[in-house]
């Protein structure tokens, strides 16, 4: 089972719930993490809160406030959609599909490794 809020931030989700600006509370704060003075002196980190659900998103991926605002809204929209729709959300379905693909890829890699080991063992026996 995939935790619902971890499934957010996946691309190509079409049927997301729309956010209204009246439901959002936006703040600009100083970012943290690597970057030194450039990061510590500028308020380009966006904190966006969806008031009805209480979901908060903090975005400091770029140095541009406008880009961070856009990214924060995308992330928040996906998380709100996930919050209200749950397992019926496109974001959740996409996450499940990618998890399934990842597991299938791991399984195939493991099978290939086993085949290679068998081949090497057979080859060693033939030499002896």
- Domain coordinates of the chain in residue numbers? 21-86, 89-127
Tell me the pLDDT band of 1, cut-offs 50, 70 and 90. Answer: very low
Residue by residue, DSSP assigns 35-72 as STHHHHT---EEEEEETTTTEEEEE-SSS-HHHHHHHH
Range among 26-40, 56-70, 86-100 rated most confident: 56-70
Q: Under a CB-based contact definition with an 8 Å cutoff, are residues 44 and 15 in contact?
A: no
The answer to whether the beta carbons of residues 2 and 95 sit under 8 Å apart is yes
Fold of domain 21-86: Double Stranded RNA Binding Domain (3.30.160)
Q: What is the mean pLDDT of residues 76-90?
A: 85
Q: Which residues are registered as beta bridge partners of 26?
A: 48
- Decide if pLDDT at 109 tops 50: yes
What pLDDT, on a 0 to 100 scale, did the predictor assign at position 105?
Answer: 96
Q: Is the pLDDT of residue 72 over 60?
A: yes
Q: Measured in whole angstroms, how far is the alpha carbon of residue 37 from the centre of its chain?
A: 28
Query: What does the mean pLDDT of the chain come to?
Result: 83
**pLDDT, tens digit (0-9, with 9 covering 90-100), for 8-60:** 554 554 577 778 888 899 999 887 777 777 777 788 899 999 999 999 999 99
pLDDT for 115-128, tens place per residue? 999 999 888 888 77
């Amino acid at each position: 089972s995939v935790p619902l809020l971890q499934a957010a931030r996946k691309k190509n989700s079409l049927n997301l719930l729309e956010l209204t600006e009246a439901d959002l509370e936006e703040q600009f704060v100083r970012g943290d993490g690597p970057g030194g003075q450039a990061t510590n002196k500028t308020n380009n980190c966006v904190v966006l809160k969806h008031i009805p659900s209480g979901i908060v998103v903090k975005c400091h991926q770029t140095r541009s406030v406008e880009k961070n605002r856009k990214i924060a809204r995308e992330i928040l929209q996906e998380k709100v959609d996930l919050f209200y729709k749950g397992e019926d959300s496109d974001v959740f379905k996409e996450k499940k599909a990618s998890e399934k693909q990842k597991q299938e890829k791991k399984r195939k890699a493991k099978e290939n490794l086993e085949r290679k080991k068998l081949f090497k063992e057979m080859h060693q026996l033939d030499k002896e």
